[in-house]
Structure 1
Amino acid sequence: MKSFNTNPLHRALYRILRPMARLLLRNGIPFAEFAELVKRAYVDAAMEDFTDQRKKPTDSRAAVMTGLTRKEVKKQREILAGEHQGAPGKRQENRASRVVSGWVHDPAFQNSEGQPVALPFDGPLSFSELVRRYSGDMTPRAVLEELQRVGVVAVGDAGELVLRQRAYVPAGDSEEMLQIFGEDVSDLIATIDHNLVGSEHNSQPLFQRTLVYNNIPPEIMARWRKYAAQQSQTMLEQLDRWLGPHDRDIASHGTGKVTGDSVRTGVGVFYFEDPLQPDIERERN
């Protein structure tokens, strides 16, 4: 078996797990709890993604693949069965995000130039009507308070509600932010995995690019952060203008009358920076 220092996959995994460990520790998740989740993920992948379509997946085969005992596989499979049974059939997107998306794309809440208009809280074509269309059973007051808290909506001079940002981004280690964390990291790893094995199946690679420099002077970082955020937001808004109107929930104006298969797709952008660690080997030489 290759050592940690020479196995490229081990090195890549450690880089992924190091910041994840920091997040887990900050949120009070001990190693034993994390280990249980890893076992569950192994069993889920073995039973779902590596099955012979002609045969029913078995605990024995999953045990061989994962290195777990058949007893442990059975335990995790039963937990998964309970989770899947209690989970909704359709992925539930954040409701505050759906309200903002409806405000941006639904012509009923736009001006003649296609821009989101200021809305009264109550009445026809109001904020309350927007929430009714796009957030299900959430109360308009609760949605408004959350959007105000994160700075997406502000109250104008005449008491009207004004959309300040075209996207809802929760803050801190909130439930919504942790959900986004899970989705973003999962999507990125799924894209990388697709591209790693794509050549084996002659499949079309998915777009995956990163811009990296490692010798940037600290004094330009404030300007770079601002510029990167502005350009990234502009690009995402352009993509949103193209893709958003094709979303069936938006196209149906929040009526929920959607039929047929659906595809979940998107583009993720993230910014990063960290102090460059000195090259010890180079300094020694």
Structure 2
Amino acid sequence: MTDTKPNRLHQALFRILRPMARLLLRNGIPFSEFSELVKRAYVEAAFEDFADGRRKPTDSRAAVMTGLTRKEVRKQREILAGDSPVSERTSHANRASRVVSGWVHDDTFQAPDGQPAVLAFEGENSFSELVRKYSGDMTPRAILDELQRVGVVAVEAESGLLVLKQRAYVPAGDSEEMLQIFGEDVSDLVDTIDYNLASRENGQQPLFQRTLTYNGIPPEVLDEWRERAAEQSQALLEELDSWLGPHDRSVSGQEDDGESVRTGVSIFYFEEPILANKSGDDQ
């Protein structure tokens, strides 16, 4: 019997790479740079994800697994030792997000009804105190400017007090923060899919992974659908956040003296035109 798994994987991989190629070309990344990053990812995966637990992985073993030469493996390993892109998770975007999360969940910055309080910029229990508590070394003014720019925070005209308009920080535009979120979201999705593909063989419970898709939607309903999908998705994320957020050690004030897990749920919207092929069938 012919094994169709590699062919199916190639088809899935091409579908992933096609929009990625568009993004790379739009941002001026040639194939040579992408190729180097792929080599680096292969080497890192070989050393970190396929160690046998008994001995340190070798360049020779990584070369056999990846198909790269030992010289190329050593080169990429040395680059990884000095600069690992996965460690870049304390960005401006994450700091702004932590500030918003603290505003939502920390009792110090909440109104008596449990909702995020209206804050003064300076003073006791102020926005500046919130930023100092949750953003590290970012200045309160820099964080405020960013949150105003994306519409998360508004300043009351008469009082000058700060009002939280949205319960989540989402960068606007094709910015560095959006590109970082792209890297995190796509890697999280691929990690989940990889885990689920292997879960049956390993006897593990698969992680939740669902998609709602229709192929015959008329264009005239899309405006209403976009609005409905955004509103209900935001409501669901806020409901989940209200339960999970207070358990985060940085929000609850628990001492970070034990194992921690990064977890969450991603929701994204998509649409694309359905093109008819030469036979008239939908693709």
1:129-148 equivalence runs, <5 A: 129-148=129-148
- State the alpha-carbon separation in 1 of the partners of residues 278 and 113 from structure 2: 58
Identity fraction in percent? 70
Match of 1:185 in 2: 186
Residues 117-167 of structure 1: CA deviation (Å, up to 9, x unaligned): 111111111111111111111111000000000000001132111000000
1:96 aligns to what?
Answer: 96
Counterpart of 1:37? 37
Distance in 1 (CA, whole Å) between partners of 2:20 and 2:146 is 27
What's 1:120 paired with? 120
Paired residue for 1:194?
Answer: 195
Asked whether 1:10 is paired with 2:6, we answer no
Mapped partners of 2:278, 2:50: distance in 1: 42
The corresponding residue for 1:271 is 269
Kindly state the Cα deviation for residue 282 of structure 1 after the two structures are TM-superposed. 4.5
Q: 2:38 & 2:179 partners in 1: Cα distance? A: 17
User: Unaligned stretches of 5+ in structure 2?
Assistant: none
Match of 2:218 in 1: 217
User: What is the TM-score when the length of structure 1 is the normalising length?
Assistant: 0.92
Question: CA separation in 2, counterparts of 1:282 and 1:99?
Answer: 53
Q: Which digits, 9 at most, give the CA deviation of each residue in 1:221-276, with x for residues without a partner?
A: 00000000000000000000000000000001xxx842111000000000000001
Aligned-partner residue type, residue 214 of structure 1: N
For the residue of structure 2 that corresponds to 1:119, the secondary structure is: coil
C-alpha distance 243-23 of structure 1, shift in aligned 2 (>3 A): same
Equivalent position amino acid for 2:270 in 1: F
Let me know the Cα RMSD of the aligned residues.
2.0
1 CA distance for matches of 2:16 and 2:172? 22
Match of 1:261 among 227, 240, 259: 259
1:164 paired residue number: 165
Alpha-carbon deviation of 1:91? 4.5
Are 1:72 and 2:72 counterparts? yes
Q: For the residues of structure 2 that align with 1:169 and 1:245, how far apart are their CA atoms?
A: 20
1:261 maps to a residue whose letter is: E
The Cα offsets for residues 62-102 of structure 1, whole Å up to 9 and x where unpaired, read as: 11111111100010011111125x986x9426100000000
Q: Give the letter for the 2:199 counterpart.
A: G
Amino acid across the alignment from 1:103: W
Corresponding residue of 1:246: 247
Aligned length in residues: 276
Output the CA distance in 1 between the equivalents of 2:281 and 2:82.
55
Determine the C-alpha separation between the residues in 2 that align with 1:258 and 1:283.
57
Q: Which runs of 5+ in 1 are unaligned?
A: none
2:281, 2:116 → 1: CA distance? 57
SS of corresponding position for 1:42: helix
- Partner SS state of residue 78, structure 2: helix
SS at match of 1:7: helix
Partners of 2:33 and 2:19 in 1: how far apart? 17
SS of structure 1 residue aligned to 2:257: coil
